[in-house]
Structure 1
Amino acid sequence: MRISYKIILLVFFSMQLCLCRLSYAQVTSFKDIRLLSQNHPDSAIMLVKKRYAKAVADKDLLVQASCLQAIGWLCVNQGHYGQAQDYYFQADRIYTQLNAKQLLASNWSDIGELNIFNKQHDLAKIYFNKALHSFRTAGDKNGEASVLGNIGHLFEKVANYDSAFVYQKRALSIYREVANKNGEAKIHENLGSIYEDLAKYDSAFYHFEKASDLYRETKDNYGLIVVLNNMGDIFRKTNRFPESIKLTQSAYQMAEKLGDVYQMAATTKDLSKTYALSNQPDSAYFYAERSRKLVLELYSVDGARHTAFFQALYDMNQKAEEIEKLQVTKKINLIMLWGTIVVLVLLIVLSYVLYSRQKIKIKNQITESRKQEAERELTEIALKNQLLEDKQLKQELTLKQKELTSHTLNLIRNNQFLEELRDELKGMVKDERRDQKRQMQQLVLQINENITQGVHWKEFMGTFERVHHSFFEKLIQRFPDLTAADMRLIALLKINLNNADIAVLLGISQDSLRVARHRLRKKMKLEQGEDLAGYLLTVS
């Protein structure tokens, strides 16, 4: 089973506390406060509160910053991330002011861990890199290794396992260099968890086993409980149920002996899963029920602790606010005294200025009123001119439309006349002598060539362009393959002529017109059933 990073932080120092039997009177350092906070967060916050009050009274900024950082860590420990961030930032400002580089790096590392919980992975990486640079500059190997492990955990969170391996192995190398066995154990545990995520169970078991040996050597029973439980998970996932049960029960017994309710609940839940998979329903039910009761007990205890923690934190905030209010009140009183003097002087000056400005204002209002009146008159004139221009444009458009109609009628009459003449000449060709036939056939060919061309067509297209401005430009942009013949047909369809008139104007038969329309529809990629003339009317 993969124990979450938050639970590891929450319980780790609790087991150390049980081992050492730490009493309140023995709490002398901020590390001890972190140990105490796991089982007694209210007592831990009270101790920090007293130290912070004394540091404020002594004007000891360094201790103040350390207290603020400790409160931030206590808030993270209790899951109150928003408040934790406020306290970390307050500590950051003081450490920066004092140029306490290593303490500042430690605070940055804590902020990075907080951002992992908040899933602000990019921000976490920024703070980890700042902390790493600072620890390296100061030559703090343990700090460097700790941050490298955190960065590896960050990459694991975003499933970038290659980078996670790189950073965890760098951290392991440094811990070995400085002979920090507890740090080595933690990194082996992290590596085992990554391999477990990747379902590489042999490698995962190897690193968990290395971690268990180191935890036994350093007598870190809590770390040993977590690793034994993880090793039991590996056996369960590889269907080696007897070995899994043995290791998980061993972890449960250690947790029970140390009074670690968190791990007792976790191990009994895993035992229930393993017994169920090995077809032992009675044992599975027993441990499932035991896990449920432990979780209920855990929630009950946590609720009481959270209440006491919040009360202590509230009291501390209240005290800090009272101190701040007293300081602010003194400043406000001084500011008010000088402010009153300044206001009196300003009132005298302001009265004179207002009197002078009132005169100027009245004068300006009169000028502005006249100016507005003149602008209004100019606006009315401009509006009248615009109306006249609109009327003139409408008249011009009407004339152009009439002109277009006239050109269209002229074209129709011209083509009708030419068709009649062509038909008569065809009749003469049938009846006249052979030597006259050749001349008449030539005349028919000339009529055919001129039946759809000439001055009228040029005038018609020019007038059409003026009435339907930029119509052809838009069509060419959409359909660049259109020809001059296509444009003529489009123009006649646009003015809504019937097929008979269009055929006359183009000098073609009705069948030829249908073919031309069909080809035009293909060029314009119209769907079957979509009206060609209707589509052209929509183009403006």
Structure 2
Amino acid sequence: MKQEWSTLQYTVIFLILSTLFIGCNQDKGNKISFASKESSKFDSLARINPQEARRITDEVLQRAELTDNDSLFLQGYYYKTIINVNSGLSDKVREDSEKALKYSDKIGEENYKHKIYTVLGKFYVQNNEYTVALDYYLKARDYFQSQNDMINLAVSYNGLGILYFEMGDYDNSVINFNKAYTIYTKVGNKRGIGVFYANLGSVFSTKSDFKRANFYQKKSLDIFNSLNDTVSIASCMINISNNDRELKNYDSSFKMLDEALRLSEKINNDRLKERVLHNLGLNYLAKRDLKNAHYYFNEELSLSDKMKFAGGRLGALEQLSYVTKLQGRYADHALMTERYYKLKDSVFGSEVKQKIEELKWANEFEKSSLEKKLLLSKYQIEREKSSLLLIVSVMIGIVSVLVLGIVWLFFRNNKKSLKLSEIENERLQEKIDFEHLNFEKEKAEKEILKLRSVHQDLELETKNREITSISLQLLGKNNLMAEIAEILDKNSKTPNKIESDLRSILFHNQNQKKDWEKFREVFEKVHPGFFTEIKSRFSSLTATDIRICAYIRIRMSLNEVASLLNISLQSLHTSRYRIRKKLNLDTQQSLDDFICEIVTGNNNV
């Protein structure tokens, strides 16, 4: 009991100190309002005219250097952070945001500090670091809510909506988008309303309602066109092109992407350009133009490597793996698949833990917000009744303490239940993630083994043909040389007799029947059972037909076969057509592949 009462006393003291702190900071309202308006104007300028925004940023930092003014340094590095996030310059974002936060702490500028948090939240969402992003967005939302800064509060809500959307939690995403929209409508923020329509269109796209998604995206595009917001215009065009592709409106989709590519290059925004390249690849893939699809995904991969953007690399590698497989480039497919899974493991290996941590942060913040509201409410009641008698004030204080004690006990018990539930969920999610990773790895290994098997079969086929050809050449050569040597060894013969015998040998070596028997003898050693199998299955084949089939089996060219049979190519084509009829082959079936598979028993006739 003593421990519980001491905690309650501490809570009451915290309530009083918090209220005094809020009262002391009311004088800063004008400064915060001014900073908010000034930075909001630059946010719009950075989207509409990036070149002018860079010029202003350089000018601010030059004045800061000349005057050694900490406020100007803060302002300049904040501007640079916004520009770098919009341009996808990851390394610069971290460097410049650290400098901006250092100066905000140095001069005690909380408004700028929390605006930097919203920019960093957006940056870390783009880089799939959701836990870090959530931390920054919650801090910003908490602060702007306490300051009643509605414009920046709406920015925080919108950022949280995008974060939940990327995590696949569409219900929480829509809740936060609606909160932002309520504020944008109330303050008359036209751009904010346009952002809401774009986000709502993205939600409908995930639900495969592409016509409705395009309706909201086009409403958003009209608003951004009226504001000359280049980044948002290009982003809307990319979203509309995605919906058009799903609706099979390829001409419209390509038109939107071409214009978005032009805008991204105009403002030198590599992050936007990467999105355009990815979607151009998807368009060509949908149309089965594998050559162009491979080109644009490869361009996306190069640009993502340049930006050090893991999300872009993952998307490009995944699509390149699929495209090379469709192209039959199995070695490239295996390479892309291996690179994809290595990168995926490094980026998303802790994804399940990350999401649990994000949910825990959200729960903690909601509880903290509720406790703060309850404490503030109790304090206001005490303040309004300060004119009453002392005994009434004491009684109200006691009741307030009791209520706070009940609330605290309730949340303590609830927290324990949530903790147990989180532990169970974490174990379950880790098990599911582990099984999924094993399945993906086994699948990749099977693909690689299959490619190796195909490669080995091709090598074996080539070696068989080489063996057969070499054996025939050696056999013919040895027989010919033996006969010539025998004639030359007989010294009693006259030169005319020797010449006559040599001509006779040449004549006999041109005897096709004798050559065929020699060929058949060597062929049977390399492909045992071939002649027996083909005769038993296809009794209608003639001796010449079977001979042609044997030449096909060792992959002889048409010219080679025609020369061996001493017939024209036209006659050979006629013979092949006749063989196809006897084998009952469809027009789509390859005669060569069918004959090569007979010896392994792979055909069902």
Query: Which TM-score band applies after superposition, normalised by the shorter structure?
Result: 0.3 to 0.5
Instruction: Give the TM-score normalised by structure 2.
Output: 0.40
Larger radius of gyration: 1
Instruction: Give the TM-score normalised by structure 1.
Output: 0.44
